[in-house]
Structure 1
Amino acid sequence: MAQQQPATFGQVVGLVNKLQQICTQLGDTAGNSILVDKLSSIVVVGGQSSGKSSVLEAVVGRDFLPRGTGIVTRRPLVLNLVHTDDPKAQEYGEFMHRQGQKIYDFEKIRQEIEDETERHLSKGSKVVSPVPIYLTIYSPVVPNLTLVDMPGLTKLAIEGQPQSIVQDLEDMCKQYIKGDNAIILAVSPANADLATSDALRLAKEVDPLGERTIGVLTKIDIMDKGTDCREVLCGRSLRLRHGWVGVVNRGQADINKKMNMADARSRETEFFKSTESYRDLDNTGTTYLANKLSNHLVNEITRKLPEIQSYVDKTIIDYKSQLTALGHDISGNRGKMLHLILTLCQKVEKAFTRIVEGGEGGGERILEVFDVKLKEAIYKLPFDKILTLKNVRNTINEADGYQPHIIAPEAGYRRLIEDGLSLLREPC
Structure 2
Amino acid sequence: QLKYQRILERLEKENKELRKLVLQKDDKGIHQRKLKKSLIDMYSEVLDILSDYDASYNTQDHLPRVVVVGDQSAGKTSVLEMIAQARIFPRGSGEMMTRSPVKVTLSEGPHHVALFKDSSREFDLTKEEDLAALRNEIEIRMRKSVKEGCTVSAETISLNVKGPGLQRMVLVDLPGVISTVTSGMAPDTKDTIFSISKAYMQNPNAIILCIQDGSVDAERSIVTDLVSQMDPHGKRTIFVLTKVDLAEKNVASPNRIQQIIEGKLFPMKALGYFAVVTGKGNNAESIESIKDYEEEFFQNSKLLKTCMLKAHQVTTRNLSLAVSDCFWKMVRESVEQQADAFKATRFNLETEWKNNYPRLRELDRNELFEKAKNEILDEVISLSQVTPKHWYMTPLWHRVYTHGGPTAPPFLLSARVAWETLQEEFSHFMTEKKGKEHDDIFDKLKQAVKEESIKRHKWNERAEDSLRVIQHNALEDRSISDKQQWDAAIHFMEDTLQSRLKDTESVIEDMVGPDWKKRWLYWVGRTKEQNIRNETKNELEKMIKCNEDHAAYLANDEVTTVRKNLEAKGVAVDPCLIKDTWHQVYRRHFLRTALSHCNLCRRGFYYYQRHFVDSELECNDVVLFWRIQRMLAITANTLRQQLTNTEVRRLEKNVKEVLEDFAEDSDKKVKLLTGKRVQLAEDLKKVREIQEKLEAFIEALHQEK
TM-score by length of 2: 0.44
Among 269, 279, 302, the residue aligned to 2:295: 269
| One-letter code aligned to 2:207 | I
**Counterparts in 2 of 1:227 and 1:125: CA distance versus 1, 3 Å:** same
| One-letter code aligned to 1:264 | I
Paired residues for 1:114-263 under 5 Å: 114-121=139-146, 123-223=147-247, 224=250, 226-228=252-254, 229-238=257-266, 240-252=269-281, 254-255=282-283, 258-263=284-289
- 1:176-195 C-alpha deviation (Å, 9 max, x unpaired): 11221221111011122323
| One-letter code aligned to 1:342 | H
Distance 2:50 2:435 in 1: 32
Matched, 1:24 2:54: no
Paired residues for 1:291-370 under 5 Å: 291-325=321-355, 326=357, 327-329=359-361, 342=438
Runs of 5+ consecutive residues of structure 2 not aligned to the other structure: 1-8, 24-36, 125-129, 376-433, 443-705
Matched, 1:80 2:108: no
| One-letter code aligned to 1:204 | S
> Is the Cα contact below 8 Å between 2:40 and 2:106 reproduced in 1?
no
Runs of 5+ consecutive residues of structure 1 not aligned to the other structure: 347-428
> Is the Cα contact below 8 Å between 2:116 and 2:160 reproduced in 1?
yes
Q: Structure 1 residue 273: deviation in Å?
A: 1.5
**Counterparts in 2 of 1:214 and 1:30: CA distance versus 1, 3 Å:** farther
Q: Structure 1 residue 274: deviation in Å?
A: 1.2
Q: Structure 1 residue 308: deviation in Å?
A: 0.8
| One-letter code aligned to 2:273 | W
> Is the Cα contact below 8 Å between 1:216 and 1:247 reproduced in 2?
yes
Distance 2:131 2:346 in 1: 39
> Is the Cα contact below 8 Å between 2:177 and 2:222 reproduced in 1?
yes
Q: Structure 1 residue 324: deviation in Å?
A: 4.3
TM-score by length of 1: 0.70
Q: Structure 1 residue 40: deviation in Å?
A: 0.9
Distance 2:100 2:441 in 1: 40
| One-letter code aligned to 2:198 | K
Q: Structure 1 residue 298: deviation in Å?
A: 0.4
Q: Structure 1 residue 62: deviation in Å?
A: 0.8
**Counterparts in 2 of 1:316 and 1:339: CA distance versus 1, 3 Å:** farther
Distance 2:291 2:435 in 1: 67
> Is the Cα contact below 8 Å between 1:40 and 1:297 reproduced in 2?
yes
Larger fraction in strand? 1
Residue aligned with 1:101, SS: coil
Matched, 1:14 2:41: yes
**Counterparts in 2 of 1:272 and 1:30: CA distance versus 1, 3 Å:** farther
> Is the Cα contact below 8 Å between 1:235 and 1:243 reproduced in 2?
no
Q: Structure 1 residue 133: deviation in Å?
A: 0.5
> Is the Cα contact below 8 Å between 2:71 and 2:223 reproduced in 1?
yes
Aligned position for 2:84 = 60
Q: Structure 1 residue 163: deviation in Å?
A: 2.2
Distance 1:231 1:260 in 2: 32
Among 112, 117, 126, the residue aligned to 1:96: 117
Identity %: 22
Q: Structure 1 residue 11: deviation in Å?
A: 5.0
> Is the Cα contact below 8 Å between 2:86 and 2:287 reproduced in 1?
yes
Q: Structure 1 residue 167: deviation in Å?
A: 1.6
| One-letter code aligned to 2:277 | V
Residue aligned with 2:304, SS: coil
Distance 2:437 2:299 in 1: 72
Distance 1:141 1:262 in 2: 14
Distance 1:341 1:294 in 2: 56
Residue aligned with 2:204, SS: coil
Distance 2:132 2:345 in 1: 41
Residue aligned with 1:18, SS: helix
| One-letter code aligned to 2:295 | T
Q: Structure 1 residue 156: deviation in Å?
A: 0.9
Residue aligned with 1:128, SS: coil
Distance 2:190 2:95 in 1: 12
Q: Structure 1 residue 316: deviation in Å?
A: 2.6
Q: Structure 1 residue 97: deviation in Å?
A: 2.7
Paired residues for 1:340-419 under 5 Å: 342=438
Distance 1:94 1:159 in 2: 35
Superposed CA RMSD? 3.1
Residue aligned with 1:318, SS: helix
RCO comparison, higher one (Cα < 8 Å, 6+): 1
Residue aligned with 2:285, SS: coil
- 1:149-204 C-alpha deviation (Å, 9 max, x unpaired): 00011111111112221122112211111221221111011122323312211101
Larger fraction in helix? 2
